[in-house]
Each structure stands twice: as structure tokens, then as C-alpha cells.
Structure 1
Amino acid sequence: MTSPSATLTVWASSWLAGKSAPDNVIDALHEWAPMHLVCAENEATAEHTGLPWPDPRNDGVAALLSTIRRAAGDPGARLHVTLPGPGDVRGLPAGTSFATAAIDAGEGVLIGAPGSPGLGLVPRVEGPDVLRWTGYTIDRVPLDLHHTGLGEAEYCMREAVRDAATALETLELLDTGSDDDPRELIADALARTARHRYPSEVPARMLRIMDSADQVAAILVVAEKLAPGRTVSATGATAVEDLLRPLWSAVRSARSSAVNSAAAASA
């Protein structure tokens, strides 16, 4: 799992479907931080959702689960992860505080039925070993949540694995002559991702897509870390960004499709 929002979406969906216990959700989220705080965006949201405001509650995961159960109780309501990036705001409710916060954080969770009122949750690192979740009232969950088909996502990730490796070669990072071995850095990044488990009912195809996305993301993280030392001009830096941006977009699209499909499969 690659973000707290993805973890919450997959595991809470499994729990709501009766396929996982609350402790499974808690354990999965605690892989991100031992302490979770939760609060509402404002007083009106607090009254509507039951979330605390203005002071957060420090038993945050329990509060999250209670709030999610209420928000997901309407017919057709589901959890949906959103992973916005630069120039990519697909699936966000335009002009909302939730959209602004999710763009800033690079992630968020929508809960509700498309076209109906719902709840948005956005996590942020509050400090060492602390994650804060903020709840936002959504007047209308977007009708078009921009799902990419799993077949397209799997194909794109196969292509992206190849293109990401080519990007390393293009940037001449495979042999930097430095103490940082790109292959070891990539392996370390993948090892951190592997700490996070998935519910047993997640289909193998979705796991393959998420694993491929993790591989590409690990390569891109290493490329971004090492490329600045090899780039001596603003033009060169722009070229690096132009090379990596579409790959990051593909990773976000594949991850959101796989996570949301896994959540739907649990229902």
C-alpha cells in the first residue's frame, strides 16, 4: 500500500463488507503512524458527521470507523480514493475545501454515492509518528469518478515499467559513480511498500497492478533523488520533469483504479 488514503479505502471497505475485523483496519493504519488524530474541518461539519471540533480526538482510528460507517450507510455509498497530482484533479468535487486539501496532500478519500452528499477525508503528517485526518462535508459526490479500466491500467503499467527503466538509462543514473546505488535505493523503496498488507479477498489482478505501480514509483523516486546532481541547467531540470511527469500520472491512475476496484470487489 502506498498511501494512508489507499490503506483506509481498501481495509475499511473490507470491514464494511464483513470480510475484515475493525482490528485489521486499525493495524493496517498503524503501519503509517502509531497515533491518528481526527477532527472536522469546521463546526458545521462536526455537527453533521459527529467528528470532534475544534480539538482533535486522539483515538482517531476508532472515530474514523464510526464516521465512515455512518457516511457509507446510504444506498450506493462506497469509499473511493483520489490521488491528485500537478494538473491532474480527476474525480475531485470542484471548488470544495476537500479538493483543495486533497490536492495539497496528494491524496484523499471520498465516501458516498455519486450524485449524493458525502464525506471527504484527508490525512496529513502532524508530527513524528502522528497522522491527522480531517473530515470535510461534500455537498455532491462527483458523478464521474474517472475510473480507468483494469485492463487498460494493467497494460499501462507494463509499458510504464519499461519506460521507467529507460528513463534511468536516459538520465544516465544506472552508473552514477556515487555511493548511492540506484538498484539498492529502488529495492529499499520497494521493501518499505511491502510492509503494507492487503485484505485476503483482493483479486490477484489488482495486486499485480499495484505491484507494478510500486515498481515504477520506486524507480521514479530514485530518478528524482539522483537526477538533480546530474542536471546542471534549468533546461536540464525541465527535461527531467517532462520525462517523469507522464510516468507519475500513469502510476496515480493505475493505483487509484486498482484500489477503487478492490474496494468495490469487497462490497
Structure 2
Amino acid sequence: MIDPDGYTYCHEHLHIDLSPQKGDLDCRLDQYALIKSEMDALVERGVYNIVEVTNSFMGRNPQFIESLISDTGINVLLSTGYYIEGFFPPEIYTKSARAISQEMIREIVVGVEGSSLKASVIGEVGSSENAFTEMEQKVFEAAAMAHYETGRPISTHQSMSTMGRQQIELLQRFGVDMERVTVGHCDLKDNLDDILWLLDQGCYVQFDTIGKNSYYPDSRRIEMLKALSERGRLNQVMLSMDITRRSHLQQNGGLGFCYLVDSFVPQLLAHGISPAEVDTMLKHNPYTVFQ
């Protein structure tokens, strides 16, 4: 569970391999020494928790995570579930939502096979860009079932900040507790109205692609966070970077995991976000959601 004394990155990948689907070795994040170095640096800065949302068929490696925990002291929450269309194993299409949910429940209650770790987050379960396929909706139904049985939170993936409303409407139909849902990738387009609607439903939202300026500039993320601050809505917002590629690591020329606390947070403070609001987004909200 969350260490309440430190900051939390709410949506990260410490070991992920989407290279088979994307045909790009850069999408295999597995360089242990470099990632260990960055986790050491995070702990030094007071970031004690990582919500690791790599799930089955995304290249999850629990042994890799066990070593990071042992070697750095970082606290890692593992996830269970399935990602989005195009990244599902073939056999999932013949399974019922109940059967998929039982897989999730087993990883939460019994543990992730081949390790001593248990999953404590249902995620990242997602939808495609401007589409929410039948199979993706079945995974959401399974996630709702697993949530009912375990009480664990659900963390979602929006492709390019689309379909968040549809995700929440579906989970609402399944009766999921909105205070135990966090919607991912809300910071990839100008969508303040969508974000306010999500907040009004009672769920949390993630500004979790910080530093990915090629998708959407951090300056606009700061503008949106400032707008939410002015409305008193940051008590449902969390922050992260969603590092997924070798090229994202600092020693490979990327921004690295520390960019969020070393660069982005000072920019927030310079734009009038208060230190208390930063603590709310990086400490208190994650503890509430993921405890």
C-alpha cells in the first residue's frame, strides 16, 4: 500500500515491453541499472511510491519490480488487468467477463505468478482513440467485478484524452464507487469541460503525461491545472509522467523520472499553485485513492 510520508507518481511503468506490437525496440523499457538509478534519485527527493500500471500482456515483470523494491526502497503498487485493443492476448476474446475478473481477483488476493507480490490496482484498463470496443468494454465489466470483490481501485487509460465520459458512464452503470476510480491521460488536449464533468461524477483525474511535450505542451497542462485550482478542484487531481520508452530515461537523453519534481513542480509554484496544492496532488490524493 501507499507510504503516506512521501509523494506518489500515480501512473508509471518500470518495466514494459510494447515493442512486438509497435515494432520499435525503444518501447522495451527494461534497462535495470538506469531505472534503478532513477528510482534512487526519486527516493532522495521524497517520491516514495510508484503506481506501476503495466499489466498482463504489456511486458509486466514482477521479478524486475521485486529487485527494484529491494535495491532502492521504492514502494511499488502492481496492477492487474488488460490494456486496450491491439494489446490483448488472443485467448481473451473467448473468455467471459466473469472469467477475466477471476484472473484479476487471483492476482490481487493470491499474488502475481512467479513473485511474492500482489496486485493492488485494477489497471490500466482502457479505450481506443475515439472508440470503446466491445472487448474493451468487457474488460471494464471484469474490472468492475474485481472491484466489487476486492475493493481495489480502478485506473483507466484514455487514448489521447478521448472516451473518458464513456468509461465513467459504463462504470456507473456497473455501480462502481466513483471515489475508487481514477481516469488516466486527461492532459493530452484542450478538454477542461470534459475534466470538469469527470470531477463532477466524483472520480479522480490524472495529469499523467507530464513532459510529453510532443503530444501536448506542459505550458498548457499548467494552464489547465491553474484553471482547476481557481475552481478549487485539485482535490481530485493526481500527477505522473507515464514513462514507457528507453529514450525517456535521463541517461538515454530523455527527461527522466525526476523531471516532474525537479522542473514541473517549480513551474506550477511559479504560476500560483500553492505548495499545499502540490502536496494534495502528489501526496494526499494518491493516498486516498490507492490506500
* Same topology, TM > 0.5: no
How does the TM-score come out when normalised to structure 2? 0.26
Larger Rg: 1
How does the TM-score come out when normalised to structure 1? 0.28
Which structure exhibits the higher relative contact order, with contacts defined as CA atoms closer than 8 Å and separated by 6 or more residues?
A: 1
